[in-house]
């Protein structure tokens, strides 16, 4: 059986990724070694002669080929870090992006003095929004709704992984149509890409994110036309909703909010300065 050493594997993976046009080859090589080999960056630096089994090395080389073909590293490993927590992914869940962490930041600030007690996540996907908020607020209870059964299984697994499953319910349905009751906090990252623009997205997104989580209809606003009226019905009088929006959609979403009798409170920018999260309140007198 051929013997491989850690330093050799690290150099080889980095070189292959670099040749394949990957932007951060050394970093991704390290991530693969840590995930597949059970090793750390300290091992690579301090113990370069650590042996790596032939089967482990072969598996990492297969991962590299998948990565070079355009598959995201998070999809290859089946996990994505979101707000400092690892979240399992599935074929029918969106791969959460750092921009979506803006929504969690905004919600935590809005309830800084008194955490929300009841949370509703419309289109929960991997459950990253709901699970993160429940993880931060250990007295809160939440409901995650999704049209996809496979996505709900992933969300449930993530809730179990992070110890919040006893305070979370996951329901199959079309937005909040089958729900009763009201919630202090409603969050949603609905599909908002105009369908004609999907072909312009990166291959990583086009080929690996589920179309159900991307396609916002002809103008990208189809989901908002359904979600915003549901917010009106399910939000407590002093509650707050946070909805992720796409680039350049703020004005049209504000019109939909006002048309539903809600108040477009403010817009929160993401890490790139792009208007990303719409804050909505009831504004009852």
Q: How far apart are CA 257 and CA 224, in angstroms?
A: 9
The pTM (predicted TM-score) of the whole model is: 0.90
| Interval 215-238: pLDDT, tens | 788 898 999 999 999 999 999 999
Return the SS3 of 279.
strand
For residue 262, give the nearest of 274, 279, 248, 277 by alpha carbon. Answer: 279
Strands 235-244 and 275-281: antiparallel
pLDDT digits (tens, 9 = 90+) for 31-52: 999 988 887 888 888 888 888 8
SS3 of the chain: helix, strand, coil, percent, to 5: 45, 20, 35
- How far is the C-alpha of 102 from the C-alpha of 257, rounded, in Å? 20
Kindly list the domain boundaries of the chain, sorted by start residue: 4-69, 91-281
6, 50 Cβ separation under 8 angstroms = yes
- Quick one: fold of 91-281? Rossmann fold (3.40.50)
Q: What percent of the chain has pLDDT over 90?
A: 69
């Amino acid at each position: 059986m051929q013997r491989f050493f850690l330093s050799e594997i690290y150099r080889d993976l980095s070189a292959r990724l670099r040749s394949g046009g990957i932007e951060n080859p050394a970093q991704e090589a390290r991530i693969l070694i840590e995930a597949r080999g059970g090793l750390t960056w300290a091992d690579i630096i301090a113990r370069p002669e650590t042996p790596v089994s032939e089967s482990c090395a072969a598996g990492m080389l297969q991962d590299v080929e998948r990565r070079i073909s355009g598959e995201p590293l998070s999809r290859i490993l089946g996990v994505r870090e979101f707000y400092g927590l690892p979240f399992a992914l599935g074929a029918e869940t969106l791969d959460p992006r750092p921009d979506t962490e803006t929504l969690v930041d905004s919600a935590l600030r809005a309830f800084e003095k008194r955490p929300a007690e009841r949370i509703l996540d419309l289109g929960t996907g991997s459950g990253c929004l709901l699970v993160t908020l429940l993880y931060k607020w250990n007295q809160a209870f939440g409901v995650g709704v999704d049209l996809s059964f496979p996505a709900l299984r992933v969300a449930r697994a993530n809730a179990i992984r992070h110890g919040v499953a006893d305070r979370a319910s996951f329901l199959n349905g079309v937005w909040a149509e089958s729900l009763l009751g009201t919630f202090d906090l409603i969050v949603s990252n609905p599909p908002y890409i105009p369908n004609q623009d999907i072909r312009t997205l990166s291959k990583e997104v086009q080929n690996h994110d589920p179309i159900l989580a991307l396609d916002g209809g002809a103008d990208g606003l189809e989901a908002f036309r359904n979600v915003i009226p549901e917010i009106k019905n399910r939000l407590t009088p002093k509650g707050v909703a946070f909805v992720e929006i796409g680039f350049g959609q703020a004005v049209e979403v504000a019109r939909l909010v006002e048309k539903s009798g809600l108040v477009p409170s403010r817009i929160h920018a993401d890490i790139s300065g792009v208007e990303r999260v719409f804050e909505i309140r009831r504004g009852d007198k």
